[in-house]
């Protein structure tokens, strides 16, 4: 058995993952985000590490009672953001979340075409690395700190991410998984950072803070501090990565080229496993390619900014909770009685399938007859349309496995299947991130799991042909509204 740890944005979870794919004891603990003026969103690293210790110790205690051997600890978690640390692994300032908006104006300046028609910084970086730039990524946050808080960069030894920050504290090793390091400065084909990308963003002076990615299959071990924190023996094997988007795909069963994963969590992430890293130089510079454990395979990802976060917001306005969603969706028909939504509600705008720091959400088509059920259905349909848009940009060519807290509602899962016009495969257990991390750990330990057995542990939701035909027409209307909205956002920027 391996303890899989998933460092979510708002919840830290640990689960007992067995070699046959079963998920056993699970423990979770909420972690808080600190929100400040100007769209700043930060996290306290000490509280994150304490949450890890708490949930892992619960699994350890349960394993000891059952007489089960713990082979390793496998860590995955939120990506992007900026977790600055000194050489000992101690934070030099609060971690900056991927949800942070302080660098929105920097990204907006990078999006502008330069003099004499020269391509924008964002497009030039995209052509080098295949990664889009958005306010919560390393490039923007490093640039903001360099201009406004350079003393933090001067005190730091490493500019990392959540997973490697925890790994550093548990093992004493400064490293990063190649999946995390892929965005936004890496050429994933060579697994090397691209100096020209840092220069374009004006942060080449801080290139020394980027950690060297670990080789695929690297196994770390708990040092004395990590052993004391987790209640495990010193020397226990530990892995750090891949980060949560990729781990969710693996844990859900997306292991074959062309297949896709839909992750309906705080963010909406759409991803496709591919051997092709061809960059469309004329496409919107959005999304990313991520390295995988196989140097010949890559994950093409379109992670939008808002998934269940928008749903939680709207449910909260009505004094409702997630358990109310399924019933309310069934009260409103496809098309939500004329109501529709663009679901760009993040303060930092959107990052996929296009980058627009000043994107804003909206509801349209409202009438006095509309109910809260209509508004909720319109929002859920809008998120599903955004997923279809992302998959169309990536060229999905295979099965789609879906996971995440939003899909605890079968009614919403059915909307996704109908909008995409293809079956969805839903894992039998929700601990897919921990499951994917454990799968990776066993491969690193030289004992790869049975892929067919793990993939079999899921169920299928088929689309309804009539509803799919309806949503094909509705999706065309969604794309038209999106085009109009993007023109309005551009006018708003020019007048501000």
> Could you read off the pLDDT tens digit of each residue along the chain, which spans 496 residues?
999 999 999 899 999 999 999 999 999 999 999 999 999 999 999 999 999 999 999 999 999 999 999 999 999 999 999 999 999 999 999 999 999 999 999 999 999 877 667 899 999 999 999 999 999 999 999 999 999 999 999 999 999 999 999 999 999 999 999 999 999 999 999 999 999 999 999 999 999 999 999 999 999 999 999 999 999 999 999 999 999 999 999 999 999 999 999 999 888 999 999 998 888 888 889 999 999 999 999 999 999 988 999 999 999 999 999 999 999 999 999 999 999 999 999 988 998 999 898 899 999 999 999 999 999 999 999 999 999 999 999 989 889 999 998 999 999 999 999 999 999 999 999 899 999 999 999 999 999 999 999 999 999 999 999 999 999 999 999 999 999 999 999 886 655 5
Q: Fill in the DSSP letter of residue 97.
A: P
pLDDT at 154: 98
Element (H, E) at 404: none
74, 2 Cβ separation under 8 angstroms:
yes
pLDDT at 494: 59
DSSP line for 116-183: GGPPPHHHHHHHHHS----TTSHHHHHHHHHHH-HHHHHH-SEEE-HHHHHHHHHH----B-HHHHTT
Which residues touch 290 (CB under 8 Å, ≥6 apart)?
Answer: 178, 179, 182, 183, 188, 242, 245, 246, 298, 299, 301
| Rounded Cα distance, 267 and 99, in Å | 10
Which residues touch 145 (CB under 8 Å, ≥6 apart)?
Answer: 82, 152, 153
First to last CA, the chain: 56
SS3 content of the chain, % helix, strand, coil (to 5): 45, 20, 35
360, 399 Cβ separation under 8 angstroms:
no
pLDDT at 182: 95
pLDDT at 493: 66
Q: Which of 313, 399, 309, 385 is nearest to 353 (CA)?
A: 385
438, 291 Cβ separation under 8 angstroms:
no
Residues of the chain with CATH 3.30.420.40: 2-247, 253-495
Its CATH architecture, for the domain 253-495, is: 2-Layer Sandwich (3.30)
pLDDT at 456: 95
289, 182 Cβ separation under 8 angstroms:
yes
Q: Is the peptide bond before 353 cis (omega within 30 degrees of 0)?
A: yes
Q: Which CATH superfamily is domain 2-247 in?
A: ATPase, nucleotide binding domain (3.30.420.40)
For the beta carbon of residue 224, count every other beta carbon within 10 angstroms.
10
- 216 half-sphere exposure, CB direction, 13 A CA radius: 12
pLDDT at 357: 86
| Rounded Cα distance, 63 and 59, in Å | 6
pLDDT at 157: 98
Alpha-carbon distances, residue 85 vs 144, 192, 237, 404 (angstroms): 17, 22, 23, 30
């Amino acid at each position: 058995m391996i303890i899989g740890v998933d460092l979510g944005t708002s919840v830290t979870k640990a689960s007992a993952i067995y070699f046959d794919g079963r998920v056993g004891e699970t423990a979770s603990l909420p972690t808080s985000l600190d929100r400040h003026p100007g769209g700043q969103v930060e996290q306290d690293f000490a509280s994150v590490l304490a949450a890890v210790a708490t949930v892992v110790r619960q699994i350890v205690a349960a394993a000891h009672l059952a007489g089960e051997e713990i082979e390793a600890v496998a860590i995955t978690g939120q990506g992007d953001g900026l977790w600055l640390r000194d050489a000992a692994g101690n934070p030099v300032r609060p971690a900056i979340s991927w949800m942070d908006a302080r660098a929105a104006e920097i990204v907006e300046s990078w999006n502008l075409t330069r003099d004499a028609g020269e391509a924008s910084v964002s497009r030039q970086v995209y052509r080098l690395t295949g990664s889009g730039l958005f306010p919560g990524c390393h490039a923007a946050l490093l640039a903001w700190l360099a201009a406004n808080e350079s003393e933090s960069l001067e005190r730091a030894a490493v500019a990392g991410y959540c997973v490697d920050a925890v790994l550093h504290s548990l093992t004493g090793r400064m490293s990063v998984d190649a999946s995390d390091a892929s965005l936004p400065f890496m050429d994933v084909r060579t697994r090397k950072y691209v100096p020209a990308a840092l220069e374009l963003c004006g942060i080449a002076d801080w290139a020394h803070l980027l950690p060297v990615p670990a080789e695929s299959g690297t196994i770390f071990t708990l040092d004395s501090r990590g052993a004391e924190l987790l209640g495990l023996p010193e020397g226990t094997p530990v892995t750090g990565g891949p980060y949560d988007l990729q781990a969710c795909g693996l844990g859900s069963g997306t292991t074959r080229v062309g297949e896709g994963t839909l992750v309906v969590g705080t963010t909406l992430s759409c991803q496709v496993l591919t051997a092709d890293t061809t960059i469309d130089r004329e496409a919107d510079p959005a999304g990313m390619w991520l390295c995988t454990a196989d140097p010949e395979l890559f994950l093409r990802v379109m992670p939008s900014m808002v998934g269940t976060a928008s749903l939680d917001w709207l449910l909260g306005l009505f004094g409702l909770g997630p358990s109310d969603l399924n019933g309310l969706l069934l009260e409103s028909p496809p098309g939500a009685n004329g109501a529709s939504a663009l679901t760009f509600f993040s303060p930092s705008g959107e990052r996929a399938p296009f980058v627009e720091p000043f994107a804003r959400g909206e509801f349209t088509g409202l009438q006095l007859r509309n109910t809260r059920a209509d508004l909720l259905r319109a929002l859920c349909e809008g998120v599903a349309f955004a997923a279809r848009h992302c998959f169309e940009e990536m060229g999905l060519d295979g099965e789609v496995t879906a996971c995440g807290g939003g899909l605890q509602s079968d009614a919403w899962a059915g909307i996704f299947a109908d909008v995409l016009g293809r079956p969805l495969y839903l894992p039998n257990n929700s601990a897919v991130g921990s499951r994917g991390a454990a799968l990776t750990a066993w491969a690193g330990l030289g004992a790869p799991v049975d892929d067919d057995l793990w993939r079999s542990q899921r169920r299928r939701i088929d689309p309804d042909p009539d509803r799919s035909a309806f949503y094909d027409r509705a999706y065309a209307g969604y794309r038209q509204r999106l085009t109009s909205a993007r023109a309005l956002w551009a006018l708003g920027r020019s007048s501000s």
